[in-house]
Structure 1
Amino acid sequence: MDSIRPDSDEFRRILLNDIPLLDVRAPVEYNEGSFPAAVNKPLLDDEQRRLIGTEYKQQGQDAAIVLGNKLATRDVHQQRIDSWLPIVDANPAGYLYCFRGGLRSRISQQWLKEAGRNYPFIKGGYKAMRRFLIDEQQRVAEQSPMLRINGLTGTAKTRMIEQLANGVDLEGIANHRGSAFGRRPAGQPEQINFENNLSIDFLKREAAGATSFILEDEGVMVGRCNVPLPLRSTMDIGPVAVVDMGFDERIENLRQDYIYDSISEYEDFYGAELGLAEFGKSLLASLERIVKRLGHERYGKMKVLLEQAVAAGDIGRTDELLTAVMAGLMQEYYDPMYEYQLQKKLDKMVFRGSWQEVKEYAESWQG
């Protein structure tokens, strides 16, 4: 039998080190939010959880336990053990958890013990660890200086953030490029997962020595992910550094990010045959989402170009047409919008320069 490790509430150590976690909550709970290193192998499936929860509310804990034991047939018991053992054996330093670190954790732990494995659980379960991350996110937001990187569309702000040791890539964590055309084929994380992953990212950078942070000057939303209010409040009053870059260079950056990199992502996700077609559908859907802001005349012209690009079937012709669409969107929509927004932040601007100059400023900035 394995040596006995104690149950733990060392949330910081567990999350900083990506220690493997066995999530025994029902799938519906896991899908609402979990942690990066967690694998879901439930003790109760969604229907069993519903039935036992109803019994608990109507008849109390003892009755719920009786029903649970009734549902835990020999076959169910063995199926759960069989699903857990490969994870437990592959991750001897890991932990299991349920929602509150209560009955489900103890039952799972007991079943594993009967199978010859001593496996500790997270004290307080998912709820306690989630609370820890919320509190840490608020602490970091309230105590740490934060510099915002601003600039027109195509100034490679995300690329800069990725190269800074204390850069927190909101778009990367949200799996979205931040604009109306920023959707990626794999989709975005659930809001709770976005918040959990963001908090962990801050904690890891702190652990590596960061005392201040650099972020792209995002809006309230990154795609459908909502930037947590404490962080949003700190960003809103923080200093701004602005990247200046010529139109042609910005177009080249956008071609790489929004055409070649995006097509590659779609082909990896959907396969070579469907990738380009799905990419085209995504662009048309994105354009339609901003029809009111563009106005129907501009929308109509750009839609025609997009449809021609999607139908071209040749990457060279597609590139040419999409570049024309991007140039039009920048000149007629994005640039005026960003310039208007920047005018409202001039009192917060502490530096302005080329991409390299802003990067060097950010690297030396301490807040």
Structure 2
Amino acid sequence: MSEMIPQSEYRRLLLDDVPMIDLRAPVEFAKGAFPGSVNCPLMTDSEREAVGTRYKEQGQNAAIALGHQLVNGAVKQSRVDAWVSQVTARPDTVLYCFRGGLRSQLSQGWLAEAGYQRPYIEGGYKGMRGFLINQTDKVAEQADLLILGGMTGCGKTDFLNERRDSVDLEGLANHRGSSFGRRIGGQPSQIDFENRLAIELMRHQDAGHRQLLLEDESRLIGRESIPLTLFDAMTQAPRVMLEVSNEARIAQITKDYVTTMANDYLAQDAEQGFAEFENYLLGSLDRIRRRLGGALHQDLRQRMTDALAEQARSGNVDGHSGWISLMLSHYYDPMYRYQLEKMTAPVLFQGSPEAVHQFLNERGAR
């Protein structure tokens, strides 16, 4: 087996979900890594900082000497044991550090001394990160991009997930892209979001789909920012629009933001879950108070509070339709119509979910 995996193998590593040991310090890993990677650092944050300071003051040799002094004896053995544990569980594991340099080579050597021969990735994190950024840019320039639009509550995300020629941006961001869009578990770091997005775009390419369907989004999905090249392409791409009844929209929003979210909170904590769900729903409403205006916010909050009380008492969620209907007619729909008036991209087709599916199937088969 080669001691180093060349840059030409980046695509295979990422699409095949090859397990990786990230040798960088925890502070580096927290900023962003690759799906499936496990942080088993060569140095802790404080050790890395000390070595970096020594490098600036006295040069590379002094920094290396300090590194060996800090990571030695029982400390060194604990680091090797962590790598061995990962490699034993996943024998196909590979290594990477920031640039594929000294940290990778040193860790590879210590692993070999323990009886495990594993390659490291040429260029390391920096090389693969740059590769993924380029892949997103290429897709933005080359893909036959279509944007799925429609009024709030028309089920765009569910529609996307019924298709193979789509990528779910909100799923990758772990956020529904609205003021009520927070999900349990929080959002990934911006870099993790971008890395996962690039990999999903590559999977879409490799599957041979003739078109790429994305949901109509603002630049920010929660706190995640869609890469500018892709977002610019999205703003200019043609649209297909879902049309459903108001009753269906209210039912969809009830499912997404009431039933599903309550179940998610209760699954996380059976005792306090419903209280946390109430905080989520009321807090989401309170965060847009200024945009709603005081009177409308007060009306909506009372309706929501009453609906939550009935849901807690009997499990019935029908009471939520009142505030949802009012939110649609007085907040979301006017905002949607305003954005629609500013849109310059062409609309290729609009209709029911079934009709839009048929249109996309026929277009993608051409």
TM-score (norm 2): 0.96
Is contact 2:95–2:104 with CA below 8 Å preserved after alignment?
A: yes
Aligned ranges 1:165-176 → 2 under 5 Å:
165-176=164-175
Tell me the CA shift for residue 310 of structure 1.
Answer: 4.0
What does the per-residue CA deviation read over 1:149-175, in whole Å, with 9 as the maximum and x for residues that have no partner? 100111111111111111010010101
Aligned ranges 1:184-263 → 2 under 5 Å:
184-263=183-262
- The 1:347–1:233 alpha-carbon spacing in structure 2 relative to 1, beyond 3 Å, is closer
Is contact 1:149–1:214 with CA below 8 Å preserved after alignment?
A: yes
User: Partner letter of residue 67 of structure 1?
Assistant: L
1:7 aligns with 2:10: no
**Which shifted more, 7-16 or 300-309?**
300-309
Aligned twin of 2:78 = 79
- The 1:237–1:74 alpha-carbon spacing in structure 2 relative to 1, beyond 3 Å, is same
1:329 aligns with 2:327: yes
Tell me the CA shift for residue 292 of structure 1.
Answer: 1.5
User: Partner letter of residue 55 of structure 2?
Assistant: Y
Tell me the CA shift for residue 363 of structure 1.
Answer: 2.5
How far, CA to CA, are the matches of 2:310 and 2:351 in structure 1?
39
How far, CA to CA, are the matches of 2:246 and 2:256 in structure 1?
15
Tell me the CA shift for residue 336 of structure 1.
Answer: 1.1
- The 1:140–1:261 alpha-carbon spacing in structure 2 relative to 1, beyond 3 Å, is same
Tell me the CA shift for residue 346 of structure 1.
Answer: 6.0
Is contact 2:146–2:212 with CA below 8 Å preserved after alignment?
A: yes
Q: Residue 22 of structure 1 aligns to a residue in which SS?
A: strand
What does the per-residue CA deviation read over 1:100-133, in whole Å, with 9 as the maximum and x for residues that have no partner? 1111111110110110111100111000000000
User: Partner letter of residue 345 of structure 1?
Assistant: M
What is the aligned length? 363
Tell me the CA shift for residue 327 of structure 1.
Answer: 1.3
- Out of 272, 286, 290, the residue aligned to residue 292 of structure 1 is 290
Q: Residue 241 of structure 1 aligns to a residue in which SS?
A: strand
How far, CA to CA, are the matches of 1:144 and 1:155 in structure 2?
26
Aligned twin of 1:52 = 51
Aligned ranges 1:63-212 → 2 under 5 Å:
63-212=62-211
**Which shifted more, 340-349 or 104-113?**
340-349
TM-score (norm 1): 0.95
Tell me the CA shift for residue 345 of structure 1.
Answer: 2.4
Q: Residue 365 of structure 1 aligns to a residue in which SS?
A: helix
How far, CA to CA, are the matches of 2:33 and 2:227 in structure 1?
17
Tell me the CA shift for residue 313 of structure 1.
Answer: 5.8
Ranges in structure 2 where 5+ consecutive residues have no aligned partner: none
How far, CA to CA, are the matches of 1:48 and 1:299 in structure 2?
52
1:36 aligns with 2:35: yes
What does the per-residue CA deviation read over 1:286-312, in whole Å, with 9 as the maximum and x for residues that have no partner? 112211111111011112233334445
How far, CA to CA, are the matches of 1:313 and 1:353 in structure 2?
34
Is contact 1:263–1:279 with CA below 8 Å preserved after alignment?
A: yes
Is contact 1:164–1:363 with CA below 8 Å preserved after alignment?
A: no
- The 1:178–1:79 alpha-carbon spacing in structure 2 relative to 1, beyond 3 Å, is same
User: Partner letter of residue 104 of structure 1?
Assistant: R
Tell me the CA shift for residue 315 of structure 1.
Answer: 6.1
Is contact 2:236–2:345 with CA below 8 Å preserved after alignment?
A: no
Tell me the CA shift for residue 231 of structure 1.
Answer: 0.4
How far, CA to CA, are the matches of 2:207 and 2:348 in structure 1?
26
Q: Residue 167 of structure 1 aligns to a residue in which SS?
A: coil
Tell me the CA shift for residue 7 of structure 1.
Answer: 1.2
**Which shifted more, 307-316 or 30-39?**
307-316
How far, CA to CA, are the matches of 2:361 and 2:61 in structure 1?
59
How far, CA to CA, are the matches of 1:192 and 1:324 in structure 2?
39
- Following TM superposition, where does structure 1 have runs of at least 4 consecutive aligned residues deviating by more than 6 angstroms? none
Tell me the CA shift for residue 176 of structure 1.
Answer: 0.7
Is contact 1:251–1:323 with CA below 8 Å preserved after alignment?
A: yes
Is contact 2:219–2:225 with CA below 8 Å preserved after alignment?
A: yes
What does the per-residue CA deviation read over 1:221-275, in whole Å, with 9 as the maximum and x for residues that have no partner? 1111101101001001000111111100111111111111111111223x11111
Q: Residue 187 of structure 2 aligns to a residue in which SS?
A: coil
User: Partner letter of residue 291 of structure 1?
Assistant: R
Ranges in structure 1 where 5+ consecutive residues have no aligned partner: none
How far, CA to CA, are the matches of 1:332 and 1:339 in structure 2?
12
Tell me the CA shift for residue 316 of structure 1.
Answer: 4.3
Q: Over aligned residues, Cα RMSD in angstroms?
A: 1.5
